[in-house]
Amino acid sequence: MMPPDFIAAWLNKNEIFTAMTIMEYWDGAVTTVQLVFLCLVIGLVFAVPLAILRTVKNPFISGPVWIYTYLFRGTPLLIQLYIIYYGVAQIPGIQETFWWAIFREPFYPALLAFTLNTCAYTTEIIRGAIVSTPHGEIEAAKAYGMSWFLRMRRIVLPSAARRAVQAYSNEVIFMLHSSAIASVVTIVDLTGAARNIYSRFYAPFDAFIFVALCYMVLTFTMVFAFRKLENHLLRHQRPVGS
C-alpha cells in the first residue's frame, strides 16, 4: 500500500497536478457525467416511441422520423453543436424572449445537440431490433388474439430490448467520447479542464494523458455495467449448466 503522505509529497513536488488542478478536473468530470447522463436518458425516452413510429407502414408517419434520423446521423455532431449554440444566438430578437434564459448558457444548447444526436442513433438501433423480431413470435401473438399494443408491450419490445442492448452500449460509449467537443462552446467539461490546464502550463502530455485516463475509467465503468445488464437480459442464451 502506498502511504498517503507519499502521494501528498508527489503532489507537492510536481507543478501541474496540484490540489487546485485536480479540483478543476473533478468539476469537469461532474459536468461531463451530467451532460452525458442527461442526454442519454432523454434520448432513450424519445427514441423508443420514435423507433416504433419508424416501423409503421404509413410513410406520412415513418417518413418524418426517417428524415430526422437521416439528418442527425448524416452530419457531424460538432456542426450540429455549432449551429445550435452560435446559430440560435444570431436569430434576431431571441435575446428578448424567454428562450434566451435557456440558450444563453452553453450547457443547454450542448445538451439539446447531444440529445438530438444520440436520440437519432438510438432510434435506428431500436428500430433495427424491432424489425428483426422473428415472424413466428408475432404470428403466435396474433393467434392468441393480442392487440397491436399488447403485442408491442409483451412480445416485440422486450425481445427487441435484448437484441438492442449490445449496440446501445456502444452508442453510450461513443456519446461519452463525443461529449469532449462540448469544450468548444466554453463548457468546462473534462476536456475543457484539460485544455485550460494545458494552456496554463504548456504541458500537453501531462494534461491530456491524465484526462484520457479519466475517460478510460468512465468508459470501463460503463462497459462493466453493461456487461452485468447483458448477462442479466441474455441469461436464457447461456449454455446449460454454466
What residues line the site for other proteins (CB under 8 A)? 86, 89-90, 95, 100, 104, 106, 184, 186, 195-196, 198-202, 204
Q: Please tell me whether residue 129 adopts helix, strand or coil conformation.
A: helix
**Spacing of C-alpha 86 from chain mean position:** 22
| Smallest separation, CB 74 to other proteins (Å) | 25
| Smallest separation, CB 200 to other proteins (Å) | 7
- CB contact set of 124 (below 8 Å; sequence gap of 6+): 51, 54, 69, 73
The answer to whether 163 and 176 have CB atoms below 8 angstroms apart is no
Type of residue numbered 154 = R
| Smallest separation, CB 132 to other proteins (Å) | 44
**Nearer CB in complex with other proteins: 55/191:** 191
**Nearer CB in complex with other proteins: 200/227:** 200
**Nearer CB in complex with other proteins: 151/195:** 195
Locate 201 and state its grid cell: 502550463
| Smallest separation, CB 79 to other proteins (Å) | 14
Q: Please tell me whether residue 219 adopts helix, strand or coil conformation.
A: helix
Residue showing cell 413466428: 136
| Smallest separation, CB 35 to other proteins (Å) | 17
**Nearer CB in complex with other proteins: 166/196:** 196
**Nearer CB in complex with other proteins: 92/145:** 92
Q: Could you give the CA distance from residue 229 to residue 31 in angstroms, rounded to a whole number? A: 25
